[in-house]
């Protein structure tokens, strides 16, 4: 299972000074399992195919059914039942996850077929870095698959504003850390301000044309510091959705920007994308109970249960980091104690006259005496 940076710019909505937020990045089952606490930014762009309509839609699974299938697939993947998780991911319409399981189950033909479909739909996942596909590396189709994805990505990128792409990656790079606490906002804040200024200039000059152009611009503004800047992020994300209604990351970002605007006004969020640290512990910012998980799913937002589980994982990681920081001090104390040897004291019975403590009047016991 491959370790990954948390990537705050690629998965969390954090309410703080100069916070980071983005849709859950395209993740393999291994990455999803790693982010799931023992006992818990959207699906990959490979899922950007148009939704079924008419009879096909009527025969297809509901959103709730797909979520249930995906949960079952992840459970099977976690217990290494790869023969079961492949079909389950396919029923959940997660081709990339299905390809991972098929490869791990030794079903190379099925894995390559699923990857081909995912790439045609715009997959951006780092295939070469995903250990789930290690068994495919010796197959001549593997390099052809990597080449196909690279060509598809290059062709797509040629339709975009190259400077907006670069600005977006700079924004994300500033947030690619293993812990939120590692971000140096004093350094990043001026860079964020400069990026927002340049984004405005590009858009004013007509440089944004494709859905991804507006998505990239929206993500930069999602890291703004004022309500007006976050509202602009929402407007830009909605422009991306208008150009491509099946752009799942843009749909998530539109919801996240709306949530952040509400949280900045100390109101309940709608979708459940924003987290806040309170008294040293992460929480999901209060959520409007009228919004259903089906409505969240329509905007590519995870369920509330998934949000709570993610926060639990963040807190577990935070506690582990604190424990690790304390360990060196404990090791030093233990080493000193070992070097000094055990302490020797003479038996009290031979040297000290035992006395019974005087009883205290309960009426006169102070706050410092009460146990």
16-55 pLDDT, tens per residue? 433 334 444 445 555 555 443 333 333 333 333 333 334 4
0.75 exceeded by pTM? no
Tokens of 275: 């987290």
Tokens of residue 353, six digits: 């006259």
Query: How far apart are alpha carbons 130 and 113 in whole angstroms?
Result: 17
Report the percent of the chain where pLDDT is more than 70: 70
CATH of the domain spanning 1-25+161-303? 1.25.40
DSSP element (H, E) containing 311: helix 304-340
Determine which helix (DSSP H) or strand (DSSP E) holds 280, and give its type and residue range.
Answer: none
Question: Six-digit token pair at 315?
Answer: 């807190």
Q: List b or e across 171-183, with b for residues whose CB sees 16 or more CB atoms inside 10 angstroms.
A: bbebbebeebeeb
pLDDT tens sequence across 315-350 = 998 888 777 766 666 565 665 555 555 454 444 444
CB contact at 8 A, 285 and 265? no
- Phi and psi torsions of 278, nearest 5°: -125, 120
Per-chain mean pLDDT for the chain: 79
């Amino acid at each position: 299972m491959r370790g990954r940076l948390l990537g705050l710019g690629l998965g969390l909505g954090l309410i703080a000074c100069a916070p980071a937020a983005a849709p859950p990045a395209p993740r393999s089952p291994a990455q999803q399992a790693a982010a799931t606490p023992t006992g818990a930014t959207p699906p990959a762009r490979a899922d950007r195919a148009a939704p079924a309509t008419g009879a096909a839609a009527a025969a297809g699974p509901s959103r709730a059914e797909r979520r249930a299938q995906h949960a079952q697939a992840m459970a099977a993947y976690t217990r290494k039942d790869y023969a079961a998780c492949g079909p389950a991911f396919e029923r959940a319409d997660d081709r990339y996850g299905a390809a991972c399981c098929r490869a791990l189950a030794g079903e190379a033909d099925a894995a390559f077929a699923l990857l081909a479909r995912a790439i045609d739909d715009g997959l951006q996942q780092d295939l070469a870095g995903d250990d789930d596909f290690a068994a495919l590396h010796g197959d001549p189709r593997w390099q052809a698959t990597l080449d196909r994805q690279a060509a598809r990505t290059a062709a797509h990128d040629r339709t975009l504003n190259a400077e907006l792409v670069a600005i977006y990656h700079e924004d994300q790079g500033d947030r690619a850390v293993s812990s939120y606490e590692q971000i140096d906002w004093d350094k990043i804040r001026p860079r964020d301000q400069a990026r927002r200024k340049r984004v405005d200039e590009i858009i004013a000059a007509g440089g944004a044309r494709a859905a991804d152009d507006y998505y990239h611009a929206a993500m930069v503004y999602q890291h703004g510091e004022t309500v007006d800047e976050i509202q602009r992020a929402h407007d830009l994300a909605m422009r991306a959705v208008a150009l491509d209604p099946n752009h799942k990351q843009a749909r998530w970002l539109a919801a996240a920007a709306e949530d952040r605007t509400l949280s900045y006004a100390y109101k309940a969020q709608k979708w459940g994308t924003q987290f806040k640290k309170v008294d040293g512990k992460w929480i999901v910012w209060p959520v409007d109970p009228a919004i259903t998980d089906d409505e969240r799913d329509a905007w590519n937002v995870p369920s509330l249960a998934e949000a709570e589980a993610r926060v639990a994982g963040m807190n577990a990681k935070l506690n582990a980091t604190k424990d690790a920081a304390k360990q060196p001090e404990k090791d030093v104390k233990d080493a000193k104690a070992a070097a000094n040897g055990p302490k020797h004291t003479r038996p009290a019975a031979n040297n000290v006259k035992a006395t019974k403590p005087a009883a205290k009047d309960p009426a006169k016991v102070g706050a410092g005496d009460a146990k």
